[in-house]
Chains A and B, each alone.
Chain A
Amino acid sequence: KSIAILTPEEGTDYGWNQQGIDAAKAAGKAAGVEVVVAQGLGYGDVRPTLRELASDGASLLIAHASGYNTSAPEIAKELKVPVAIVDTPNGLEKGLVADYTLSGHQGAYLAGRLAAKMSRSKSVGIVVSGEPPSWNSQSAAFAQGVKAENPDVKITYAVIGPAAYSDAAGGKRVTESVIASGADIIFGQGNGSSFGMLQAVETTKAADGGKVYFIDVIGDKSPIDKGFLLSSVVWNIEPVYAAMIADLKADTFGTKHYTIGLKDDSVKLLKTAAIPDNVWAEIQTLREDVISGKIKVDPVYDAAAVRALMTSVAQ
């Protein structure tokens, strides 16, 4: 029949919303089901949209925002329509509620290794516009990767401010400060504000007068890159959605957690021209180690824990 995906912002952000929508469309196409997209719904109450999509006949509602994980299961129970929610591993309910807790921490770990290898100043920065769990786990893994590569590399962690998703000016300002503190690679997470970070990277020189590079997350911003994008921890959610559709058909929906990881390339590091081939080869080796479990990367979701980690790794 049809599935529906709900996202808080428009699916044109080269990030969370776009990846979700594109993946849902791809998975739907592969499975031969229609995909209804409800985007730009904001972070308020989506119950009306959920109910309406359900009444329009959607047989799966993908509530693609952590802000929707209270309302979506409630509607699932009310209308007996399967929903998929994020960041709620203990919310499973057979036939009704599935969770996909996406975390790119494995990829972020590799990004950290990459950054530490490539930083000329031995100083990197993490700039985030907020501290939701999925970003926290990547910030933490990135820091771990940096330290694993070279414990002497300095990490500067900065949050732009509360509810700063659309604060592009704030993103630029904070990123510029972090660059001034010596960083020449910025690991940036933040919806609208990440364009401000990108702008800062493009217009600010590192301490040595050279380029500052940007490592993005979730989406692939290379179509709009001006040569400053070092890499991105790209998420491919399609396998998750495809598995959900399959489970729905097999009546096993709501019994498992869906995750993404390096193994099936649902998390992968973007290769850009800025990464020398030898470095890339080293990163590929590390990737194998993470997949094989030789290197263990545990996700850290709690904001306070992430901050604690930053201070401990910074000293």
Chain B
Amino acid sequence: MSIDTAPSASATALDATSGAATRRDILRRLLMTLGPILVALVIAGCILLAVGVDPLAYYGYVLEKGLFSPLGIQQTLTRMAPLLFLAAGLIVAFRAGMWNLGGDGQFLLGAVTAAASAPVLVEIMPAWLALFCSFLIAMVVAVVWSLVPALLRAYQGVNEIITTLMMTFLGTSLANVLVKLAFRDPGTTVPQTRTLPVEDRLPRLFETTITSGLLLGLAAIIIVHLVMTRTAFGLKLRIVGANPRAAVHSGLGVPGLTVAVFAISAGLAGLAGAVDIIGVQGNVRADWNPAYGLAVIPAVFLARMNGFAAIGFVFLLSVLSIGGESAARRLDVPNHFTLVLVSIVLIVLALAEYFDHRFNQSRKA
């Protein structure tokens, strides 16, 4: 009895058009998130026990060093900035039913061009203008990079999973080539771009080490959320995502919208690269690839492409990565354990969402 709607492999089921959530709804959501995380911690704790590490001590450090110590929370918040931009870009793409899996390539190219341009520009113009221009350049480069998959999808119907994956392999190599051959800092033996002086980077918030990139990232994801849920443009994109044939039937310019989706999504990924470089790193080394996309993609799905929920999940990921690193060191667990922890958290959260959904269904019946 299944009705064959929405032929695109899009996450239609997730897009029941965000209605106004009631307070109880939010509370339940929160519970449905914290509960599973607790379960995941118990499971991961068993692994820790198996290798002879006290899980309570481990989690104590994760919480302390990732969340509750002033230093830890600052680090966590700083790490969020690029992740938020990436998440924002993925939300646009996924809501519109386009699998932009090329975020890492777009991110790196944005990072490299920002790193190449910012140190030059700050010398010839006011810092704020220079940084603005660097952001712009990073964005434009990422957008241009996404044009190939966008146009192929829009006008040739070539599946974008393949093209974006390949463009990300290409982009990673190209970023390296650029660092090594085009933008290399002549002053160092290590192949890397010139370094943007610390004082020219994005200002830090108040007296902390938190980058103001965090605010930009928050702004980006909230704007994206509002545009996707509250505006005509966002609705058009969601229609393209949920039922492309309905979009054609309704007179939407699907090819144009497709290109726009890719441009926005890639542009935000490029900005993610720029905000990481201009806000924190200062330069790009050859072979640098943090591959943030791999963790952000599932987070965006778990957030059901809701911007606010995505902020929460990105925060969680940051806490785990900052606190996990610290805890691993203190307890002499290899740092790789953090990967296992993140994996278990993702799986248990996905399971919890499923059981929550089931429960609701049976309650209504």
Contact = CB atoms under 8 A, between A and B. Distances in A.
A94 interface: no
A36 B329 CA distance: 9
B188 A88 contact: yes
Contacts of B189: 87, 101, 133, 301-302
B209 A70 contact: no
B187 interface: yes
A303 B287 contact: no
A40 B337 CA distance: 11
Interface string B330-350: 000011100000000000000
Contacts of B191: 131, 303
Interface in A168-221: none
B287 A163 contact: yes
B285 interface: yes
B205 interface: no
Interface in A123-153: 130-133
B192 interface: yes
Contacts of B283: 70
Contacts, number: 85
A239 interface: no
Contacts of B72: 52
A47 B280 contact: yes
Given A10-B334, A70-B281, A44 B326 contact: no
A40 B173 contact: no
A67 interface: yes
A45 B336 contact: no
B329 A77 contact: no
Contact of B335 (A40, A71, A301): A40
A74 interface: yes
Given A38-B329, A47-B280, A130 B334 contact: no
B95 interface: no
Q: Number of contact residues on B: which range applies?
A: 35 or more
Interface in A1-58: 10, 36-45, 47-49, 51-52, 55
A124 B290 CA distance: 36
Contacts of B289: 163
A77 B195 CA distance: 15
Contact of B285 (A39, A43, A49, A78): A43
B287 A48 contact: no
A303 B335 CA distance: 31
Contact of A52 (B71, B188, B336): B71
Nearest to A136: B189
Contacts of B334: 10, 40
B265 interface: no
A278 interface: no
Contact of B180 (A40, A51, A71, A303): A303
A45 B290 contact: yes
B325 interface: yes
Given A42-B335, A74-B282, A303-B180, A90 B187 contact: yes
A52 B193 CA distance: 27
Nearest to B281: A45
Instruction: Point out which of B72, B192, B328, B335 has the most chain A C-beta atoms below 10 A from its C-beta.
Output: B335
B359 interface: no
Given A45-B290, A55-B71, A77 B198 contact: yes
Contact of A41 (B173, B190, B209, B335): B335
Contacts of A36: 329
Contact of B288 (A43, A131, A133): A43
Nearest to A79: B209
Nearest to B195: A70
Contacts of B176: 162-163
A106 interface: no
A69 interface: yes
B190 A87 contact: yes
A133 B173 CA distance: 20
B71 A51 contact: yes
Nearest to B326: A52
Contact of B75 (A38, A41, A48, A88): A48
B218 interface: no
Contacts of A41: 325, 335
A252 interface: no
B335 A45 contact: no
Nearest to B291: A44
A66 interface: yes
A268 B55 CA distance: 44
Instruction: Point out which of A52, A78, A303 has the most chain B C-beta atoms below 10 A from its C-beta.
Output: A52
26 contacts: A37-B329, A38-B329, A39-B329, A43-B287, A44-B290, A45-B281, A47-B75, A48-B78, A48-B325, A49-B326, A51-B71, A51-B75, A52-B65, A52-B75, A66-B190, A69-B190, A70-B192, A70-B283, A70-B285, A74-B282, A87-B189, A88-B188, A90-B187, A130-B287, A131-B191, A132-B190
Given A40-B336, A78-B209, 9 more contacts: A43-B285, A45-B290, A47-B75, A51-B75, A51-B209, A67-B285, A67-B288, A70-B281, A88-B190
